[in-house]
Structure 1
Amino acid sequence: MQALIEISDKQYLVQPGDELFIPRQQAEVGDVLDIKPMVAIDQENTTLQPSGNVQVKVLEHLKGEKVVVFKKKRRKRYQCRNGHRQQMTKVEVLSM
């Protein structure tokens, strides 16, 4: 069974046992979050108004890969280089 869930305006297609990197959540490591699915997909049919919740467990908080932002104005001797690492939360889908 699969489900389409929405976390922080992003959608994920998940099934039990999946591990996801989602935007940082205000939860402690080891907490279990209940998320209402948007769509439930079974082998026989697809339900647009599913009942129940998807339970995910917070595994850790970490930072994503570094993104380098480079700005330059030609012929003006202007260069600016910045880096950014997005805060992420790693979760595991427990049950649906």
Structure 2
Amino acid sequence: MLAVFKTGGKQYSVKSGQILKVEKLNGSQGDSVYFNDVLAVSDASDHTIGSPLIKGAIVEAKILEQIRDKKIIVFKKRRRKNYRHTQGHRQYLTVLQIESISVGNKKSKTPTKEVKKQDKVAKNSSKEEMKKAAPKKKAAPKKKAAPKKKAAVKKTTVKKKAVKKIG
């Protein structure tokens, strides 16, 4: 199922399970976000276009992380006036994963991977076998420290005092 929704002054075309970056939304990692401003929904056989919005259509997404976009350099210059101004800008973004798209009673969910318990047990048992099969290494005997060299004897020199000339 495909949906077009509006957020942050932009329109996004998404499918279930898709990951996208949008303008910053309030919420923390793992929170669910619902978008009601759905402009169009398309299924394999049915296409619905709102005028301007579809009533009862919701796009559900999960916040994966809050990030900042790459830096954009803003450079202003006025010729012949010796005016140059450089400034950088990084936009705050929210990374979303689309969980489901629903119109009234129809709902499209993200396909989730189901791991069977037998697979988990097999993985755990193989790890245990690997631990048992690997022989334990004996602690290597500590090496004796190399004998220290004697410090070289320094020669001392006596400085002569400066003689003051009277005159």
Please give the TM-score of this superposition, normalised by the length of structure 1: 0.91
Give the Cα separation in 1 of the matches to 2:29 and 2:58.
Answer: 20
Structure 1 vs Structure 2: percent identity of aligned residues? 32
Between Structure 1 and Structure 2, the one with more strand by share is: 1
AA of the residue aligned to 1:26: N
Q: Aligned with 1:53: secondary structure?
A: strand
SS in 2 for 1:28: coil
Aligned-pair RMSD on alpha carbons? 1.3
Q: Which residues of structure 1 form unaligned runs of 5+?
A: none
> Structure 2 length as normaliser, TM-score?
0.54
Residue 72 of structure 1 is aligned with which of 45, 69, 77? 77
- The structure with the greater share of residues assigned to helix is 2
Q: Deviations over 1:17-36 (max 9, x none)?
A: 11110000011111001112
Kindly provide the amino acid, as one letter, of the partner of residue 35 in structure 1. Answer: F
Which entry has the higher C-alpha Rg, 1 or 2? 2
- Where relative contact order (Cα < 8 A, 6+ residues apart) is larger, the structure is 1
What residue identity is the alignment partner of 1:45?
Answer: D
Q: 2:90: which partner in 1? A: 85
SS state at 1:76 partner:
coil
What stretches of structure 2 of length at least 5 have no aligned partner?
Answer: 102-167
Aligned to 2:39: 38
One-letter identity of the residue aligned with 2:80: R
Q: Is the 8 A contact 1:33 1:56 kept in 2?
A: yes
In the alignment, structure 1 residue 12 sits paired with structure 2 residue 12: yes
Aligned twin of 2:59: 54
